[in-house]
Amino acid sequence: MLISAYLRFPVSQPHRERLLAECDLVVLHLYMCITDCPPFPSEAVKVRLTIVNQLCEYRSILKESDHWFDEKSPTWGCAIPTQILEEDGGFLVNGDLKIVAEDREIFGLSQVQSVRLIFERHPEAAVEFRAKNQHLRTTYIIFLLSLIETLYQPLQELSSEDLVEADIALTYLKDVGFKVDWLENKLDLLKARKEKEKVCEVRVQEMEVQLHDLKHKFEIEKAELVVCN
């Protein structure tokens, strides 16, 4: 049996993907793998394999999933019953089985670059990241990006409630295995600055009250002087 593989990738992605196939008496195993996989999650992609029915396109088999490729999970695969290889089934024609492999980025280019930059600067961050489910991995990464975006907003745009929620989010990320000491330090710094900002605001309010009282006292004394004259 000859397997013809057609690989389609986004323009922004290097062609590092490989399609592997194994066949036994019961199941045809198909694997998408990335060579030189990074040690940390660097890119989320939607992987799609289409086993082409060469007689009827609508009978083609589609398998797809979201996947994070890294050293812990360098491959994604699926299993297809070998029954599709039967004669007159339309999949195996003249000994040729056609498979179209595609992937596309789940995140936009700017988000992909952000993820890569984060793990390049903090390679230890995802070493103990425990999530295996690909959908959850994607959710956690988006959650991490959102927290970073929050903590790097101008201080005046952050409320005390924002910092409380950021603290909860940070604890959540640590619970699933992220090592985010640098974000914890950033949050502590923001809390300290926010507290100082509050103290300054209270002091300004007190000074405004004192100034108002002084003005009021001045007006009274001024009026008394006018009466005396």
Residue that wins the pLDDT comparison between 104 and 208: 208
pLDDT in tens, 154-186: 888 888 888 889 999 899 888 888 888 888 999
pLDDT in tens, 1-55: 545 544 444 434 444 567 777 777 778 888 777 666 555 555 556 777 888 888 8
CA dist 126 and 137 (Å) reads 11
Please state, as a whole number, how many other Cβ atoms lie within 10 Å of the Cβ of residue 47.
Answer: 20
CA dist 103 and 46 (Å) reads 5
DSSP string computed for 53-86: -SS-GGG-EEEEEEEE-SSS--EEEEEEEGGGGS
Tell me what pLDDT residue 1 has. 52
Mean pLDDT of 83-105: 79
Place of tokens 């907003």: 153
Residue that wins the pLDDT comparison between 83 and 69: 83
CA dist 43 and 112 (Å) reads 6
